Amino acid sequence: MSISKRLRQYDIPQQIVLGIFAFLTLFPFFFMVMSSFKTNEQFFKQFWTPALPLHPENYTRVFPRVAMFIGNSLLYSIPTLILVSILAMLTGYGFARFRFRGRETLFLLMLSLMMLPAILTLIPLFIQMRDWGWLNTPHGVILPWTSLQIVFATYIMRVFFEKLPKEVFEAARLDGANEWQLFMRIAVPLALPGLGTIAVLDLLFTWNDVLWPLVALLDRDRFPIASGLLAFRGDFQTDYGPLFAGYTLASLPLIIFFVFMIRRFISGLGGMV
């Protein structure tokens, strides 16, 4: 077999270009992890290559602060995820299973919220939170986050429930189950695996949102990870090892989560089409 034929068989030209893309895409983060094990001296002396000895104490130095932010994030993200899942199942089921007056109008009204930039309601919401005394509280973050996330989640659940065969429900209904029992005994168990996409989108959002916590939480020690890192950067300006160690630590929880979810992640986000 000639070389050019073999090159084409394994798509070598394409793979080389993709390799360059992957290198450019990943290098900044490789650099981040590499530098997180260096002292400043090593950092300047061996800029491009890993340096020995490694300095894992950079991590122990920043751990308490970053762990606090991660803990805060979990404190806001998990309740948000649970609330979004429950509300999206209820609402998606309501839209999918019943025919009622105003169904499509209400659904469109809900979807139209996706055009509403969160920053437009930043100030009215902030004032509302102030008046209700919700500033600087966990629910002052959780409920607004939930209200932003349920729209698309409901859409996903509606599509999901509409695909279920109607016979499943008819059989149980003949056994005398009421609508609530149908929902709890049949719809919810069937929907649980379908929640993966919602979990992916929801965690990406809550792990990334900087602005609302910055406004709604007055106390830095309550910041979730994204807003927290802004404050954290200020403390380690040019202390590159600990600085990058902090960034790396902050990235770990999502990475660990998505390693287990990578196929669902791709199909979930791709499924937005």
- Beta-carbon contacts of residue 117 (< 8 Å; ≥ 6 apart): none
116 binding other proteins? (CB under 8 A): yes
207 binding other proteins? (CB under 8 A): yes
Number of residues counted as binding other proteins (CB under 8 A): 87
150 binding other proteins? (CB under 8 A): yes
Specify the stretch interacting with other proteins by CB under 8 A; choose among 40-48, 53-61, 74-82, 188-196.
40-48
Orientation angle between helical segments 262-270 and 195-208, nearest 10 degrees: 90
- HSE-up of 130 (CA within 13 Å, CB side)? 8
Q: Which of 5, 53, 64, 98 binds other proteins (CB under 8 A)?
A: 98
* Residue numbers 232-251 binding other proteins by CB under 8 A: 233, 240, 247, 250-251
Say how many Å lie between the first and final Cα of the chain, rounded.
42
Amino acid letter, residue 50? P
75 binding other proteins? (CB under 8 A): no
185 binding other proteins? (CB under 8 A): no
User: Cα-Cα-Cα-Cα dihedral of 191, 192, 198, 204, to 10°?
Assistant: 180
Q: Which of 75, 122, 159, 177 binds other proteins (CB under 8 A)?
A: 122
91 binding other proteins? (CB under 8 A): yes
* Residue numbers 187-206 binding other proteins by CB under 8 A: 204
78 binding other proteins? (CB under 8 A): no
The Cα–Cα gap between 34 and 29 comes to: 8
Q: Which of 1, 3, 115, 174 binds other proteins (CB under 8 A)?
A: 115
Which residue from 224, 216, 235 is spatially nearest to 137, judged by alpha carbons?
A: 216
